[in-house]
Amino acid sequence: MKQQMDKTTEIFRDAPIPKAVFYNIVPSVISMIMVLVYNLADTFFIGQTKDAYMVAAVSLATPAFLIFMAIGILFGVGGTSLISRMLGEGKNERAKNASAFCFWTGIAVGIIGMLFIWVAIEPLCKVVGSSADTVEYVKQYLLIISVGVPFLIVGNSFSNIIRAEGKANKAMMGMILGNITNIILDPIMILGFGWNVAGAAVATVIGNIVAAAFYIFHFVSGKSMLSIHPKHYMAAGGIAAGVLAIGVPASLNNILMSVSNIVVNNLMAHHGDMAVAGLGVAMKVNMIVVMLLIGVGTGIQPLLGYCFGARNRKRFVGVLKFSLCLAVVLSAVMTVICYAGAGPMVNAFLEDADAYGYGMQFARILIISGPVLGILFVLVNTIQAMGAALPSLVLSVSRQGLVYLPVLTVFNQVFDTPKMLVMAQPVTDYMAVVLAAVLCAVAFHRHFDKK
């Protein structure tokens, strides 16, 4: 245990800032790349069926799936923020209470979520915008995916929480194992067995089980300074409130993202299923930039949280400045790559001429956000690292809700074209960066100075 504490201290407190940042973000970025590859693999192998309706169905089902990922983010981001601050303050036993709370509460919520999908599958398919041509595929996918919801929540939670104890590489390995399992099984089950959409769902469930099992083994092996043992479970004394204060805004952002995806898919459906398929693939292409930069933001959060808990203002500011510079450079490079390579990437998923035309156009519109996304994700995670609940909540409900949905509605009413429906996202992202900068500055002076 002492060795684990010394390792955490060495990286979070004593290592040079560039080394500490790269030690934390490299595994995080690799994890996000693996998530990206797994997402692209699902769409790619479904695309090999030459059925654009199946591609559209997976795109329609994704927002419902993301809602449960958001629950994992609730416990993952909220738990990481609280635990990293506790470790910085030297409250190691309380950190164990927090990790056990996240584990068992997450499983309970996952079981409830699984049962909800079974009971409400028919209305759920209608809500996500299924058409007569896609509804059976959507139903298949969601019913199978529901079985893995508890494992999905555990995997998403602890791929974050383990980083709070300085185990960034361990967190990365769980994500890699789960996603590689999924990627290997995709062609076997989708094409080899001919299970199509159902095959993609089964592969996803098995991948989530593998990732969750890896993290559980990490704890039961006694190699962690945290715990998932029931005896350490505690919700009182600020544990539940501390996790939820940051976790709810973080997950709310993802839930609103799912809601906004459902809304834009429903609006896009008026322009045909091929437009929906093109949008789904364009979002996948844009994820190349998004996931990489999310990796940078989430990678530095436990480091910033530790500095905040330890009241090390100078190191906190140094980490933030270095991370922002790195994010700007990566944003610029990835924007150029994705804009130039949009054609081949879209073509890898769609052969239908109409769907490809939509996908190509939409991908290049979405990448307009690229240059500022890195700044946005670093600032979002900085706010979360400080435990600044209100600014985190304001930013979460604004980007995908209070800002995006009105912009989307106005663009739909004024222009009523597929192109302008997609343009609503880049416009919102630039507005969100300005809001994040203001909220981060306010949170820093209000919350850090209190320490």
Residue 2 falls within a domain, yes or no?
no
Q: Where are the beta strands (DSSP E) in 168-301?
A: none
By percentage, how much of the chain surpasses pLDDT 90? Answer: 22
CA 423 to chain centre: 22
- The full DSSP string for 332-396 is HHHHHHHHHTHHHHHHTT--SHHHHHHHHHHHHHHGGGHHHHHHHHHHHHHHHHTT-HHHHHHHH
How sure is the predictor about 188, in pLDDT bands with cuts at 50, 70 and 90? very high
Burial of 3 (0-12, 13-18, 19+ CB in 10 A): exposed
432 lies in a domain? yes
Residue 7 is predicted with a pLDDT of: 58
Instruction: Please write the tens of the pLDDT for every residue from 231-242.
Output: 999 998 889 999
Q: Return the SS3 of 237.
A: coil
**Full domain range(s) for residue 397:** 11-448
Indicate the DSSP class of residue 231: G
Residue 6, domain member (yes or no): no
pLDDT band at 448 (very low <50, low <70, confident <90, very high): low
Confidence category of residue 392, pLDDT binned at 50, 70, 90: confident
Instruction: Find out whether 183 and 174 touch, Cβ atoms under 8 Å.
Output: no
Q: Is the pLDDT of residue 3 over 60?
A: no
Taking 80 as the threshold, does the pLDDT of residue 37 lie above it?
no
The answer to the question of residue 415 being in a domain is yes
**Distance from CA of residue 105 to its chain's centroid?**
20
Tell me whether residue 220 is in a domain: yes
The pair of three-digit structure tokens given for residue 385, joined into one six-digit string: 């690292």
What is the Cα–Cα distance from 159 to 271, expressed in whole angstroms?
39
DSSP 401-436: IITHHHHHHHHHHHT-SHHHHHHHHHHHHHHHHHHH
The Cα–Cα gap between 206 and 178 comes to: 8
Considering the domain boundaries, does residue 1 fall inside one?
no
Question: What SS3 class is residue 196?
Answer: helix
Tens digit of pLDDT for each residue in 104-143? 999 999 999 899 989 988 888 888 777 788 888 889 889 9
Tell me the percentage of the chain whose pLDDT exceeds 70. 96
Q: Given this model, what pLDDT does residue 55 score?
A: 78
State which amino acid sits at residue 11. Answer: I
Predicted local distance difference test score (pLDDT) of residue 184:
92
State residue 9's pLDDT score.
Answer: 61
Query: Taking the alpha carbons of 249, 251, 254, 256 in that order, is the dihedral positive or negative?
Result: negative
Name the pTM for this structure. 0.74
Measured over all CA atoms, what is the biggest interatomic distance in the chain, rounded to whole angstroms? Answer: 62
pLDDT (tens digit per residue) in 258-270: 788 788 888 888 8
The DSSP letter of residue 400 is I
The DSSP element (H or E) to which 99 belongs, if any, is helix 92-119
Flag whether 279 is in a domain.
Answer: yes
Higher-pLDDT residue of 379, 283: 379
Helix (H), strand (E), coil (C) string for 225-270 = CCCCCHHHCCCCCCHHHHHHHHHHHHHHHHHHHHHHHHHHHHHHHC
Please identify which residue in the block is written with the tokens 């199978």: 144
On whether residue 3 sits in a domain, the answer given is no
How many domains is the chain partitioned into structurally?
A: 1
